[in-house]
Structure 1
């Protein structure tokens, strides 16, 4: 009854099934691992941000370049404050305001952008307190350069002099003459009555749409594997039923052609078309 499994048609079907099922399971498992990796990155990033005030600060140069492992970690740097800029349209605790960004010229010859705090309202240089004079040592959370248009960072241009939309070396290179670090620091304690800006998790570590897309793709690939198995059993069952009917001499249901109908068909065929 199962001799049909040895036919070329069924050899092709079986080979396809044997290849399709492991492939679907592999792709589903890979998508699931991507989702789990994003969850682990999110958990690690949140732990780093929440523990930023408890761990010992390390020298800035030891934590560069900024990556997922170092973003949010506490660092310390020394130097003298220089040029000051404002970063408008930044939200904190549900209120709109601006960051006060000051460049710290370090002993290495490079300048480190330091967010000294946040103030409510429209960006106004008159509201921003002047930075401390002389040699200072700052301690805060290390952050990666921002990308305009991502994570709420404004991409608008044409800002007034002394303002920047994003905190990054690429955005500041045309505004200052200093050689800049490709990173910035937000102080643990804000200066002069400003509100400290909390550190943010590094890009790509949140449970965003991409993470849940990975989870959705996981389900799709496992459904595909189940569908392949279902269709194989369905085809097998139908083929077995046909083979059993053939052994019992049961022909497919067809309307028998009677003698009168054959005669009528012959007359119809012989009648000339007018």
Structure 2
């Protein structure tokens, strides 16, 4: 029948579509797992390799993030980055802008301190020309690695380490990258390099895995509903063959008789 032609066409289109979408979400999850593994291996390898000049590693991407870079300059304005955990303890980063000979400033995380962000406890940066060596990192954005959105912070603090967040806080042109020192400066704890954004097994990765399950469940539901409709159709045809289903003419006659009775006895008695 035309009705069943439509049902069958819908089922034949819906099942491959659900399977395709589920497979695509699964491939996204597998890509994130592979990116996480590669980023972890790259970060570990980056700690062992010789440092290279900063200019050779820019711009920062997945292949250069975590690599050791070296750059010279003079320290300038200092900021604090609150709400940063290290080894399960709350604290903050001490971020100092390194003004290079090229005219730009590079954000340098000199170390981590426990507790609330306190400018009085943050060690002052060294004076004069310095050469720093550390892991190169891409600019952060809100949502990456637990980074909160900028807003409502006291003067001298920033939520994210990025040129977009720092451009209104410092009077320098900025590199779109930052460095975390191999060794913490002035007794501070060194901040380890992190994997690039969107390469970790975060909530987004497990959302892809959840969507995979949902699409395959949808495919199973389509098959279940098709069998249920088919079963009802078979039962209806069987009842009709046994005369258990009244035809439309009989139903019309019964309706007419009921109307005549209501007219003859308006009170319904």
TM-score range, shorter chain: 0.7 to 0.9
Matched, 1:18 2:20: no
Q: From 19, 32, 35, give the equivalent of 2:29.
A: 35
Q: 1 CA distance for matches of 2:206 and 2:182?
A: 33
Give RMSD over aligned pairs.
3.1
Contact residue 85 and residue 163 of structure 1 kept, 8 A? yes
Which structure has the larger Rg?
Answer: 1
CA positional deviation for 1:240: 4.4
Contact residue 239 and residue 245 of structure 2 kept, 8 A? no
Matched, 1:185 2:179: yes
**Structure 2 residue aligned with 1:90:** 84
Q: 2 CA distance for matches of 1:110 and 1:64?
A: 13
With the length of structure 1 as denominator, give the TM-score of the two structures. 0.79
Stretches of structure 2 that go unaligned for 5 or more consecutive residues are 251-256
**Structure 2 residue aligned with 1:252:** 244
Matched, 1:159 2:154: yes
Tell me: CA distance 1:212–1:87, structure 2 relative to 1, closer, same or farther (3 Å): closer
Aligned ranges for residues 99-138 of structure 1 at < 5 Å?
A: 99-138=93-132
Tell me: CA distance 1:272–1:103, structure 2 relative to 1, closer, same or farther (3 Å): closer
Stretches of structure 1 that go unaligned for 5 or more consecutive residues are 1-6, 258-263
**Structure 1 residue aligned with 2:254:** none
With the length of structure 2 as denominator, give the TM-score of the two structures. 0.80
**Structure 1 residue aligned with 2:266:** 273
1:208-261: CA deviation from partner (whole Å, max 9, x where unpaired)? 222222222211211222222233334334444555666xx521266xx9xxxx
CA positional deviation for 1:270: 7.5
Contact residue 60 and residue 75 of structure 1 kept, 8 A? yes
Higher helix share: 2
**Structure 2 residue aligned with 1:174:** 168
Deviates more, 1:20-29 or 1:229-238: 229-238
Tell me: CA distance 1:28–1:89, structure 2 relative to 1, closer, same or farther (3 Å): closer
Contact residue 149 and residue 155 of structure 1 kept, 8 A? no
Q: 2 CA distance for matches of 1:173 and 1:42?
A: 30
Tell me: CA distance 1:240–1:266, structure 2 relative to 1, closer, same or farther (3 Å): closer
Q: 1 CA distance for matches of 2:100 and 2:232?
A: 79
